Amino acid sequence: MRHSHAHPHPHSRSLVALTLSIAAGTGLLVGSAAQAGPRLDKIMQTKTLRVGTTGDYRPFAIKTDAGYSGHDVDVIEAMAKEMGVKIEWVPTTWPQLMPDLKADRYDVAVGGITRNVARITQADMLPGYAPFGKVALVRNADKQKFTTPESLNQGSVRVIKNPGGTNEAYVLQNLTAAQVSTHDKNAEIPALIAEGKGDVMITETYEALHYAHTDPRLHAAFLDKPLTPVNMLGFMFPADDADYARVLRFTWNQIDHRGGLKASAQKWLK
């Protein structure tokens, strides 16, 4: 019995060649993608992670003569150590937080930054932590006056806000009848309220708790029923390098799995 040995059709040979060519090209692409992205490359080459913060939001990040301290400071320092890099602190302000990020002034921003749609459409953020709501910091002597959202929105109420963040957005949207003034330094506003130079500061759960605990003249109102739905904070960084994002998330998870996030929360967020 004769066996026929069919020769491949010319078109088949062309198809095989094309397939091999595509596979080779794909291999090249995969090889390129495996290399670190430009932001991660720069961080690892310089051994420096540029961290932006307003440094005015206790207990997450506060700048004093001794340097930076707070929950977020502890966490990002642990992450930098895990990455084998040092931190270069970059001061910013709440109005400039996003513009400075887009201008590549820092690689990650920390310090009590609210996770929301407006920010996540322009940047990336690490997993949420420290659930909170908007509350009011008032004088302890006035706490019976401020028990409902409506009681804050009165013509006789003096509200002091800091510019550029979600606290200001809440004030402008919800306290339209109140007397609203702006003070650039967020960390100075609680003392102004305590001294009677204003009546209300809209802030968030943990900052209000901190100041109410450290100054007996102050009271954190609406803790049990915040003025807004519960939200979370998160570290914010540019969405321009998938490799960098992957390393940041991995490092965050490493710190979490080792108990670092829990330890920082117990230290700063009680």
The pLDDT tens digits for 222-268 are 999 999 999 999 999 999 999 999 999 999 999 999 999 999 999 99
pLDDT at position 84? 98
Enter the tokens of residue 15.
Answer: 């198809």
Contact assessment for residue 123 and residue 237, using Cβ atoms and an 8 Å cutoff: yes
Residue whose entry in the numeric block shows the structure tokens 């009271």: 219
Q: What is the DSSP letter of 188?
A: G
Across 210-227, average pLDDT: 96
Q: State the CB neighbour count (10 A cutoff) for residue 55.
A: 23
Q: How far is CA 99 from the centre of its chain?
A: 14
Higher-confidence residue of 86 and 20: namely 86
- Where are the CATH 3.40.190.10 domain residues in the chain? 39-131+231-269, 134-221
**Residues of the chain with pLDDT > 70: what percent?**
87
The pLDDT tens digits for 121-161 are 999 999 999 999 999 999 999 999 999 999 999 999 999 99
The pLDDT tens digits for 93-107 are 999 999 999 999 999
Mean pLDDT value across the chain: 89
Contact assessment for residue 97 and residue 103, using Cβ atoms and an 8 Å cutoff: no
pLDDT at position 26? 40
* CATH of segment(s) 39-131+231-269: 3.40.190.10
The pLDDT tens digits for 222-235 are 999 999 999 999 99
The residue type found at 244 is Y
Out of 9-13, 38-42, 52-56, 230-234, pick the least confident: 9-13
Residue 157 and residue 151: Cα distance in Å, rounded? 8
Q: Which CATH class is domain 134-221?
A: alpha beta
Residue whose entry in the numeric block shows the structure tokens 């400039």: 96
